[in-house]
Chains A and B, each alone.
Chain A
Amino acid sequence: MPANLSARLCSLLLSLFLIAFALPALAGPFEDAVAKFANDDYSDTEEAIGVVAGSGNKLAFPIISALQDGRLMADPDSKKVYVTGTDGKSIDAATGLAVASVPDSASAVRLNNRLRRSVDAAIGSLTLQSPDIGARLQAAQSVFKSHEETSLEAVDGALAKETNRSVKAALGDARAAILLFKPDATEVEKLEAVATIKARGDQEAMALLTGMGDQPASVTKAAASAIGSIQSSLAVWSMVQNAWYGLSLGSVLLLAAIGLAITFGVMGVINMAHGEMVMIGAYTTFVVQEVIRTRYPGLFDYSLLIAVPLAFLVAGALGVVIERSIIRFLYGRPLETLLATWGLSLVLQQAVRTMFGPTNREVGNPSWMSGAFELGQITITYNRLWILVFTLAVFVILLAMLRYTALGLEMRAVTQNRRMAASMGIATSRVDALTFGLGSGIAGIAGVALSQIDNVSPNLGQSYIIDSFMVVVFGGVGNLWGTLVGAFTLGIANKFLEPVAGAVLGKIAILVLIILFIQKRPRGLFALKGRAVEA
C-alpha cells in the first residue's frame, strides 16, 4: 500500500514540522521522558517524573498534576501519552496540541506510594510560585517533607518574592530542611537551619533532626539540644493530648450510656437490648444516606441532621412497642427482664442481619466531620470534636426535658413513687411506655453519632452494652449527673492508662478498679438518697 504509506509519511513530516515550528523549545529528552509514562513500569515512571519536573517546560505542571489525579492517560501500543483536563478536553502530553479523543486502549498511568511521594515533591517545586496562597503553602510543606537538594534554587527564588507571612515561614522551614541534608552546606548555614527547625517544635521537626545522619560536631550538638527541648515540650503536649482523647472517649461512652441511664437508671429495667437500639439508629443513618445518595446527592452534608430526628423516632417507637409488648409484664422481676431483653437483642440483631446482610454498611462522613486541625502540637479530629459537642447538647436537652416539661415531671413522679403518682391522676402505664421510648430514642440518636466512628454492622450494639452498664453503675444508678461524671472519669482514666499499659491491659485495669470501687460504694459515685432508694 504505497499510497497509504506515503500519506502517512507526509503527515508525519508535517506534524514533525509543526512541532518544530510551534514549540521550538522542545528538545528530545522531554519527549523521551513523556513517552516513558506509557511503559507501565514504576522505575520508568519515576525517571520520567524527575525529567519532566526539571525540564522547565510549560507542560510540566499539567502533566504532573494530571498524573497525581489519575488523569494522565497512556496508550501502551502507540506509546503516546495524553493529559485529560478536568473539563474533559485532552491534549497530547508531548506536544501540548489538542486531540479530539483519547484512544480506548489508553489507561491511566499507575502510581505506587514511592511515586506518589515523587509526584508530591515535583508538584511542590512546580507550584512554589503559584498565584494561589493555599497552593504555595502546600507546595512549601511538601518541599519541607521531601527536602530534596534540587528544590533549593526554586525555594530561594520563591522566598525572595514571597509576601505572605505564613507561606514565608513554611518556605524558611523547607529551606532549612534542605540545608540540613545538603552535604556541602556550610556549618553556619546548618546551625541556622537547626535553629529554624527547633522553632517548629513538632514531631516532623524531631523526625528531621534525629534522621539527619553525619554532621559536623557543632551541628550534632545543637541538634541534640534542640531534640531535648522539643521532646520536653512534646511530653507536656502529650498529656494535653491524653486528656483530649479521654474527653472524646468519655463523650462516646456518655452518648452510648445516656439512653440506658433512663431505661436502667431511672426506670430500673435491665435492658440488654439497649445496644440494639443504638444499632438501629446507625442503620437509620445508613438508610437516610442511601436515599440521599440516590435521590438528592446535594444534601449529603445534611444527612446526619436529617438522620437524628428520624433515628429518635424509629428507635423510640420500637422502644414503646417493646415496653408495651414485653417489658410491662416483667416489672419487678429483674432476672426475667434480663433474659427477655437479652433474647430480644439477639432477635433484633438477626433481623437486621437478614434485612441488610451480615456485612458492614458504608456510612460516609460529611465533609464537616472529616479531617482534623492542629491545636498547638495536638491533632484534633473534627468527627470526635462534633461528637463531644453533640453529646453535651443531648445531655443538656435531656436534663432540661426532665426538669421543665410536664412529661419530665410525670416521669420523675412515677419513678419516685408509682402509687402516689397514680393516685394523683397520672396515667402511669402511659408514662412508663413514653419513658422507655425516650431512653430508646436517645440510644437511637447515639447510633447516628457512632455510625461516624464505628462499623455499621449488626454487632454494633454489642460492643457498647457492657461499657454502658459500667458507666451507669459507676456513676450511680438513677442520677444523670452521675452518668456524665462517670463517663468522663472512665474515658480519661482509660486514655491515661492506655499508653502505659496497652489497650488490652488498660481495659482490664479499668474493670478491676471499678469492681474495687463498687465494693466500697455499691451505689456508685453519686448515690441517690432518701425515699427514692427504697422504691
Chain B
Amino acid sequence: MHSKSTHDIAAPFSRRGVLAATAGLMLGLASISGAKAADDTIKVGVLHSLSGTMAISETTLKDTILFLIDEQNKKGGVNGKKLEAVVVDPASNWPLFAEKARELITKDKVSVVFGCWTSVSRKSVLPVFKELNSILFYPVQYEGEESERNVFYTGAAPNQQAIPAVDYLMKDEKVKRWVLAGTDYVYPRTTNKILEAYLKSKGVAQEDIMINYTPFGHSDWQTIVADIKKFGSAGKKTAVVSTINGDANVPFYKELGNQGIKAKDIPVVAFSVGEEELAGIDTKPLLGHLAAWNYFQSIKSPENEKFIKAWQTYTKNPKRVTNDPMEAHVIGFDMWVKAVEKVKSTDPDKVIDALPGIEAKNLTGGTSKMLPNHHITKPVFIGEIKANGQFDVVWKTPGLVAGDAWSKELDGSKDLVGDWVGKKCGNFNTKTNKCLGSGS
C-alpha cells in the first residue's frame, strides 16, 4: 500500500501547541498559562481521518465533535471544567490510527476519544485502548460480532439496520430474490453472511440469492449491473441489498440509471449511502431507491430541527447536511457527558461502569439507552431517495431496537452475549456459562 509514505506529511500541527505558543509570545506568560490550561480543562480526543480516502466521510464527524464541545462549553462545560478538543489526523492509514490513538491517550492525556469509521481502523486501535485503559466512542454502523470493555458502539449493529431492511422488502415489496452486493472487506462480508443465514431461515432458496463482491473504488459496473438485470428477470420480484462502500456508489447508481433499472423494478437498499454521499450525485436516476438508517435529516422532530439549525449556523453553511453517524456522535457525546457528571470524574474505570443504563435523547424523538453490551437502542427507518438528495421515510420500526453485539443468525455467535455489568464479559456463552475472554 502507498499509505506508509503519508506518515511524515500528514502529521498535523498540534492545535494546542500553536495556541499556547502564540499566547506565550503575546503575554510573556507561556509557562503559567500552559500549565493552568491543562488543569482546568477536560480533553476530548478526535480521531477521524482528515486526509486520504476516508476524509470524504470522516471530516464531517470531526466538525460534529467540535460543534458539540462548543455547545457544551456554552452551557458551562462538564463538572465545572471546560472541554478542550485535541484533533489528530490518522490520514486514512490504519496503522497510523493506532499510533495517533496512543499519542492522544499518553501524550495529550485525553479522557475520551471519539473516532474511527472503517472497521479495520477500529480493530487497529482496539489493543491501544485496552492496554492504556481509555474510552472510544465509535459512531458508524458496523458488522457486529464484537463487544469490548473500552469501546462504546453508537452506530447500528446488523440487527438495527440490515435485518429490518430485509424484513421491509420481504413484507412490503414482496421481494423473493435477493442480490447481496458489497465491497470486498470485512463489514460487507460479515453482514452478507448474517443476511444470507437470515434469508435462508425465512425459506429463501440458495438459487434465489446472488452474492457479489467488488474491489474498493470499483468504477466499471457494466457487467454487474447487467448480471443484476438478468438475475432480476426470473419472474420473481428482485431487490439489491447493497453494502457497497462510499466511493464506488456513484458509478454504481449511474450505471443502474443508464441501463434503465428503476427503483420500481429492482429496488436497491443501501446501508452506506446517506445524505452526505448523495450530495455528490445527480439524484434523478436514484429516485425511489432505499436506504436503511437510524436517522434521516428529513425526520420531523423538535430535537432534529433544533440540531440542524444549530449545526448550519455553526458551520456557516445553510445547506450543510446532517447524517446518521453524526447523530450517533450526538448521542454518544451526550451519554459520555451524563456519565462523567454522574460519577463526577473522568476516571475511565468509573465512566465505563457508569455508562450502561445512561439514557440520551436521540434526534428522532426517542430516547436511546446504553446497554450492558456497550451498544445502544435505536429506531430503524427505511427512507426512499427523493429528487433533492434527502430521504422520505416510508417505514419505521414500531419502537427502539436493542443492538445485538453478537448476531443471532450465525452459528458461531448465536449463544454469545456481551454483558459488562453483570458478567463483566464481552463474549459470554450462555450455553456453556463461560466467558470466552479476550483474543477470541
Binding site for B on A (CB under 8 A): 42, 110, 112-114, 116-117, 120, 203-204, 206-212, 241-242, 245, 248-249, 252, 342-343, 346-347, 349-350, 353, 357-362, 364-365, 370-372, 379, 381-384, 453-459, 462-463, 495, 498-499, 502-504, 507
Closest to A358 in B: B55
Which of B28-36, B109-117, B260-268 is the contact stretch? Answer: B260-268
Q: Are B280 and A361 in contact (CB under 8 A)?
A: yes
Please tell me if the beta carbons of A371 and B263 are within 8 angstroms of each other in the complex. Answer: no
Given contacts A116-B288, A249-B220, contact A455 B230 (CB under 8 A): no
Q: Which residues of B contact A350 (CB under 8 A)?
A: 9, 51
Q: Report yes or no: B6 in contact with A252, Cβ–Cβ below 8 A.
A: no
Across the interface, A207 reaches (CB within 8 A) one of B234, B282, B392, namely: B234
Instruction: List residues 219-238 of chain B with CB under 8 A from any CB of chain A.
Output: 219-220, 222-224, 226-227, 229-230, 232-236
Q: Is the CB of B251 within 8 A of A503?
A: no
Q: With the chains together, A106 CA to B196 CA distance in Å?
A: 43
10 nearest A-B residue pairs (beta carbon): A211-B235, A360-B280, A207-B233, A358-B55, A203-B233, A381-B258, A210-B235, A116-B264, A503-B214, A245-B222
Beta-carbon nearest neighbor of B169 in chain A: A113
Interface residue B22 (Cβ < 8 Å from any Cβ of A): no
B234 neighbours in A (Cβ, 8 Å): 206-207, 210-211
Residue of A nearest to B214 (CB): A503
On whether the beta carbons of B53 and A498 are closer than 8 Å, the reply is: no
Cβ of B262 to closest chain A Cβ, rounded Å: 8
Q: Is B259 an interface residue (CB 8 A)?
A: yes
B53 near A459 with CB under 8 A, answer yes
Q: Are B56 and A453 in contact (CB under 8 A)?
A: no
B residues less than 8 Å from A116 (CB atoms): 263-264, 288
Contact A245 B282 (CB under 8 A): no
Q: Which residues of A contact B51 (CB under 8 A)?
A: 349-350, 353, 358
Chain B contact residues, CB within 8 Å of chain A: 2, 5-6, 9, 50-51, 53, 55-56, 59, 172-173, 184, 212-215, 217-220, 222-224, 226-227, 229-230, 232-236, 247, 250-251, 254-255, 257-260, 263-264, 267, 276-277, 279-282, 285, 288, 384, 392, 394
Question: Whole-angstrom distance between the alpha carbons of A207 and B251 in the complex?
Answer: 27
User: 26 A–B contact pairs at CB < 8 A?
Assistant: A113-B263, A117-B264, A203-B229, A206-B235, A207-B233, A207-B235, A211-B234, A211-B236, A241-B226, A252-B220, A353-B51, A358-B55, A360-B250, A362-B282, A365-B282, A371-B258, A379-B229, A455-B247, A457-B280, A462-B2, A495-B223, A502-B212, A503-B213, A503-B223, A504-B184, A507-B215
Contact B250 A379 (CB under 8 A): no
Task: Give the residue name and chain of the B residue nearest to A342 (CB).
Answer: B5
Given A113-B267, A211-B235, A212-B235, A353 and B55 touching (CB < 8 A)? yes
CA distance A343 to B5 in the complex (A): 9
- Known interface pairs A212-B235, A455-B247; A203-B230 also in contact (CB < 8 Å): yes
Contacts of A503 in B (CB 8 A): 212-215, 218, 223-224
Q: Which residues of chain B are within 8 angstroms of A249 by Cβ–Cβ distance? A: 220, 222
Judging by beta carbons under 8 Å apart, are B219 and A463 in contact? yes
Q: Could you tell me the distance between the alpha carbons of A245 and B222 in the complex, rounded to whole angstroms?
A: 7
Alpha-carbon distance A457/B267, docked complex (angstroms): 27
Q: Is the CB of A463 within 8 A of B217?
A: yes
| Nearest CB of B to A74, in Å | 15
Q: Is the CB of B251 within 8 A of A454?
A: yes
Of B55, B215, B259, B280, which is within 8 A of A362 by CB?
Answer: B280
| Residue numbers in B under 8 Å from A211 (CB-CB) | 234-236
How far, in angstroms, from A25 to B59 measured CA to CA in the complex?
A: 62
Task: Select B258's contact among A120, A362, A382, beta carbons within 8 Å.
Answer: A382
* B56 contacts A359, C-beta separation under 8 Å: yes
**Cβ contact within 8 Å between B280 and A459:** no
Give the distance in Å from the alpha carbon of A504 to the alpha carbon of B267 in the complex.
24
**Contact indicator B56/A360 (Cβ below 8 Å):** yes
- Smallest CB–CB gap between B233 and chain A, Å? 4
Tell me if B258 and A113 are in contact (CB < 8 A): no
Q: Quick one: closest A residue to B230, CB to CB?
A: A203
Inter-subunit contact B259/A379 (CB<8 Å): yes
Identity of the chain A residue whose Cβ is nearest the Cβ of B227 in the assembled complex? A499
Within the complex, the shortest CB–CB distance from A44 to chain B, in Å, comes to 14
Taking the closest CB of chain B, its distance from the CB of A173, in whole angstroms, is 15
Residue of B nearest to A458 (CB): B55
Chain A residue contacts of B55, Cβ below 8 A: 353, 358, 458
CB-nearest residue of chain A relative to B261? Answer: A379
B residues near A499, Cβ cutoff 8 Å: 223, 227
Residues A208 and B235 in contact, CB atoms below 8 Å apart: yes
Kindly list 12 other residue pairs between chains A and B, CB separation below 8 angstroms, not including A113-B384, A116-B263, A357-B59. A203-B233, A207-B234, A210-B234, A242-B223, A353-B55, A358-B51, A362-B280, A381-B258, A463-B219, A499-B223, A503-B212, A504-B215
CB-CB under 8 A from B50, the residues of chain A are 358
Q: Specify the chain B residue showing the minimal Cβ separation from A204.
A: B233
Cα separation A347 to B8 with both chains bound (whole Å): 12
Point out the residue from B219, B227, B260 that lies within 8 Å of A453, measured CB to CB. Answer: B219
**Which chain B residues lie closer than 8 Å to A357 at the CB level?**
59
Does the CB pair A114–B222 fall under 8 Å?
no
B214 to chain A: which residues have CB within 8 Å?
Answer: 503-504
A207 to chain B, nearest CB (A): 4
Beta-carbon contact of A379 and B226 below 8 Å: yes
Closest to A379 in B: B259
Cβ–Cβ < 8 Å partners of A347 in chain B? 9
With contacts A463-B219, A503-B214 known, is A456 near B227, CB below 8 A? no
- CB contacts (< 8 Å) of A453 on chain B: these are 219, 251, 254
In-complex Cβ contact of A384 among B9, B56, B222 (8 A)? B222
Q: Which residues of A contact B227 (CB under 8 A)?
A: 499
Whose C-beta in chain B lies nearest to the C-beta of A206?
B233
Asked if A114 and B173 sit within 8 Å, CB to CB, the answer is: yes
Which of chain B's residues have a CB closer than 8 A to the CB of A248? Answer: 220, 222
Query: Which residues in A have their C-beta under 8 angstroms from that of B251?
Result: 453-455
Nearest-Cβ distance from residue A117 to partner chain B, whole angstroms:
5
Q: Do the beta carbons of A502 and B213 come within 8 Å of each other? A: yes
Hey, which chain A residues are within 8 Å of B2, CB to CB?
A: 342, 462
Cβ-defined partner of A360 (8 Å) among B5, B230, B279, B394: B279
Task: Determine the distance from Cα of A87 to Cα of B167 in the docked complex, in whole angstroms.
Answer: 42
| Contact of A454 with B219 at beta-carbon distance under 8 Å, contacts A360-B279, A459-B247, A502-B212 already known | yes
